Chain A
C-alpha cells in the first residue's frame, strides 16, 4: 500500500519535507495553458469539511515539463505522479505525450474537477485518447457524483486505464452572514471528514467492478481511516484536506495504522484488504 497526497493538497516545491513523508507525490493538475485559478475568496470551512474553488491554478503544460518537473525530481527522492487535466480529450492526450516516461511514475487523469466550467468529454473517451499517447500507468480520477460508480469504472478500464482514483470532491455551497455565497465563484469542491463515507461507498462499489489498483481518498485523517479504505478495496490511500491542518499527517497516520490493524484483529494491513466485502449481500433485482 502506498500513501500519497490527493492532487492539489500539497506543493512539494514549497514544502518538500511534507512530500518526503509520502510514498509518492501527486502534482497539482497540469492543464495545457497556464491558469491563475479562480478569484478569492476560494476556500471556506464548514462544520465537517471545507470548500475550495482554487480552479486548477497551475503554470501550464510547457512550464510544468520544462521548469517544475525538473525541480520536483531534484527535490524529491520519491516517485512523482502527474495529475493531468484539460478541456478536451486531445488536451489530456497531448500533455500525457509530453511527460518523460523515465521520470514520471504514473499519470492521474483529473476527470472530475468541480471548479471549472468546461464539460470534458466522457471519462472513457479521455482515457482512450491518453492510452494511445503514453505508456505510463494511467489512473482515472473519478467523481463521487456518478450514480453508478461501477459502470464508470468498467468503462474507463475498457478504455485502457491501469488504475482508479476515488474520489474527487463533491460540489458544495456555503453562504455568508448576508446570504451570499462565501466563495467568489459560488459553489466549490467539498472535502474533509464529511466526504469520507461517500468515498468509502465509492471505493467499495468500484472494487466490485474491477480488480485494478484503486487509490482511495476523501476525508482520510487517521490510521483507522486508511484501514477502512483498504477494507473497502483500496490498494493505495491518499491524504487530502488533513494535510492542511496537519503537515505531519503522513507520519502520524502510519503510526496509527499499525495500532488500527492490530485493534481490528489483523496481522498486517494487506490482510484487511477487501475485508468489508466479505459479508456484503449482492443486491437482487
Chain B
C-alpha cells in the first residue's frame, strides 16, 4: 500500500451550510480515496490536526463539512480563501461499495461522508436526521434525501431489508445496529495522528480495543 500524501493545500472557499461550515480545499495531486475514508486537516494554531471524512470531491477540489464546536474545528471554519493548510490522507477504511439495496443513514454532522458515498453508489435513497430545521439545511448537500427532525428519529424511517450505510452520533449508530446487523457504520473517536501511531482512538471491536484509524472508521455492525 502506498503511503498517503501530506501536502500544503490552498483553501478555495469557506461556505456556511446551516450551522456547519463547508471547507473547500484545492485537491492538487491528492487521491480523494473511497467514501468514508478521512483526511487529517491541520488546524491553524493547534497542536494536533483534526480528522475529517471527505464530503465531496468535485473536479480539482476536496470538500469537508466541519461542525465548529471546539478550538480546532473553529480554527478550520475561520480559514480564509487563499490560506494554506496541511492535508494528510486519505486514511483508514471507507465503506464497502458491493451492496445491492443501499440505504444511506446520517445524523447531524455525521452526514459529512454521505454525499461522496451517494455519488459512488449512484444516488441511492437516504435518510438524514437533524436536531433542528437550521441543522437540516445541510441536507442540501444530498438532494432528494428524506429528512427527519428531532423528536422523529432516523431509525423510525429505516427499512431493515436494505443494506444500511450509516454515519452519525454514537446513540444513533447503536440504534441502527439493533435494526440492521449487517449495516456498515462509520464511527468517530478523538485522534491525534490518524495513521496508527498514537493508539489514542481505540474502540472496542470484537471484545478488544483496536485503533479506529487503522481498523475503521467504517466497521460492520456485527463486529463493532
Contact = CB atoms under 8 A, between A and B. Distances in A.
A79 to B, nearest CB: 19
Q: Which of A47, A193, A244 has the most CB of B within 10 A?
A: A244
Given A50-B48, A245-B48, A247-B6, A15 B195 contact: yes
B181 to A, nearest CB: 24
Contacts of B203: 40
A54 B209 contact: no
Q: Which of B42, B88, B198 has the most CB of A within 10 A?
A: B198
Contacts of B209: 36-37, 40, 57
Interface string A18-48: 1000000000100000001100111111111
B190 A41 contact: yes
Interface in B180-212: 189-193, 195-203, 208-209
Q: DSSP majority for the A interface?
A: loop
Contact of B200 (A52, A192, A248): A52
A193 B192 CA distance: 15
Given A45-B46, A45-B72, A50-B48, A10 B197 contact: yes
Contacts of B214: 14
Interface in A175-197: 192-193
A270 B93 CA distance: 44
Contacts of A60: none
A247 B193 contact: yes
A14 B6 contact: no
Interface residues on A, range: 20 to 34
Interface string A98-141: 00000000000000000000000000000000000000000000
B49 interface: yes
Contacts of A42: 199-200, 202
B74 interface: no
Contacts of B42: 245
A248 B47 contact: no
Interface string A206-238: 000000000000000000000000000000000
Contact of B202 (A18, A37, A44, A50): A37
Contacts of B199: 8, 11, 28, 37, 42, 54, 57
B47 A43 contact: no
Given A243-B193, A244-B192, A245-B42, A193 B198 contact: no
A44 to B, nearest CB: 7
B59 interface: no
Interface string A232-276: 000000000101111110000000000000000000000000000
A81 B42 CA distance: 31
A46 B48 CA distance: 9
B86 interface: yes
A192 B47 contact: yes
Given A36-B208, A46-B47, A17 B202 contact: no
Contact of A246 (B6, B189, B191): B6
B100 interface: no
A47 B72 CA distance: 10
A33 to B, nearest CB: 15
Interface in B43-67: 46-49
Nearest to A46: B47
Interface in A48-63: 48-50, 52, 54, 57
A94 interface: no
Interface string B1-12: 001001000000
B54 to A, nearest CB: 19
B72 A43 contact: no
A50 B88 contact: no
Interface of B: 3, 6, 42, 46-49, 71-72, 86, 88, 189-193, 195-203, 208-209, 214
11 contacts: A9-B198, A14-B214, A40-B190, A40-B200, A45-B47, A48-B47, A54-B199, A243-B197, A244-B198, A245-B47, A247-B193
